[in-house]
Amino acid sequence: MKSIKKRSTQHLRRGFTLLEVLVVIGIIGIIMALLLPAVQSARESMRRSECQNHLHQIGLALANYHSAYNHLPAASIRPKGSTDNGRDQPRATWAIAILPMLELGAIHDDFVPTQDTTADANQKFRESVVGDYMCPTETNIATWFEPIVGARFSRSNYAANFGSSSWGVRFWEATKYRGVMGQNTRLAFSHIADGLSQTVAIAEISVQGDYSDNRGVWAFHAAGASSVGLDCDVQCQGINGDSESDFIPYCISNPNGLKCSFQNTEESNAGPRSLHPGGAQLLNCDGSVQFVAQEIDIKILVDRFTSLAGNAQ
């Protein structure tokens, strides 16, 4: 009997008490809490690296376009006599122009340049998803933009630098504000007086997760869709600035997302922003990519967004 009782006691001692289980769970929880920020940081580092690679590919495509045509593409092409606003008569954009240089000629072949991108003839084209135009950090990339019922556009996170002011033609003509890509206007690298490595060609821009908001659309011409600026004709906006300072033609403010202000005139504007913590990535005209902190001095940023170019085609 003593032997049986001893074996039974030893068998019971092999288990865990409730207190021991709770202690183990607590230790695992602490370890996970310590590791989670490191895991999230590693994932964001990978996403940012992929985003940077996309910008490098866009930089190469812009360089190849320049080699072929001796100038950069226009930020947007509008029919002659178009009203200077962000809604009417959307045609080509810089992102459309460089598709063949990204080995996406099949998508480019679907584009009918003589018709608005909202036209039925361009449905297949505008709904095409272009992976090179998406940053993996973006959470709203799957949301369509629909300026007209039934006219859906796929999203993107990269926009052309139209300058340090609003996007209208008269601001581009005031060369103190001029960026590198304007409406119906093309610059050559030789026109960029500040140096290619010091002048921004493309900046990141975030997507608003609503079909009625134009922020982040590669095949649409409006400010905030495929063009970006600093709005210094009113009040300079930095990187990841107050999103309510995005004055755009298709505007939906989201209390849990981006805010905006409606503006469908030549004074439309949207600034550079991203979901990367602390800043955004900028592609320079020489093809280099830099992550720029949102605390950058605004005067330095203005210099980076202004080409000081006196000539254009």
DSSP for 152-205, written as a single string: EE---SEEEEEESS-SSHHHHHSTTTB-SEEBTEE--GGG-TT-GGGSEEEEE-
Question: Is the model's pLDDT at 6 over the cut of 90?
Answer: no
Percentages helix, strand, coil for the chain (3-state, rounded to 5) are 35, 15, 50
34 in a structural domain = no
- pLDDT tier at 311, thresholds 50, 70, 90: low
Average pLDDT over residues 23-46: 72
Percent over 90 (pLDDT), the chain: 77
User: What tens digit of pLDDT does each residue of 162-209 get?
Assistant: 999 999 999 999 888 999 999 999 899 999 988 999 999 999 999 999
Contacts of 126 (CB under 8 A, 6+ apart): 117, 118, 151, 152, 153, 154, 219, 220
Question: Which pLDDT belongs to residue 45?
Answer: 76
Cα 94 to Cα 66: distance, rounded to the nearest angstrom: 12
256 in a structural domain = yes
Average pLDDT over residues 65-89: 94
Q: Which helix (H) or strand (E) segment is 101 a member of?
A: none
15 in a structural domain = no
- pLDDT tier at 312, thresholds 50, 70, 90: low
Residues recorded for the chain: 313
Tokens, residue 72: 């950069």
| Strands 185-186 and 181-182, bridge-based pairing | antiparallel
Number of domains in the chain: 1
Provide Rg for the chain, Cα atoms.
25
Q: Is 242 helix (H, G, I), strand (E, B) or coil?
A: coil
Tokens, residue 105: 């000629």
Question: Which pLDDT belongs to residue 127?
Answer: 98
pLDDT averaged over the chain? 90
Residue at token pair 């170019």? 309
Average pLDDT over residues 22-43: 72
User: What tens digit of pLDDT does each residue of 35-51 get?
Assistant: 666 555 667 778 889 99
Residue at token pair 């409606």? 262
Average pLDDT over residues 205-228: 96
- pLDDT tier at 13, thresholds 50, 70, 90: low
User: What tens digit of pLDDT does each residue of 118-147 get?
Assistant: 999 999 999 999 999 999 999 999 999 999
Q: Which residue range is the domain that position 173 belongs to?
A: 39-305
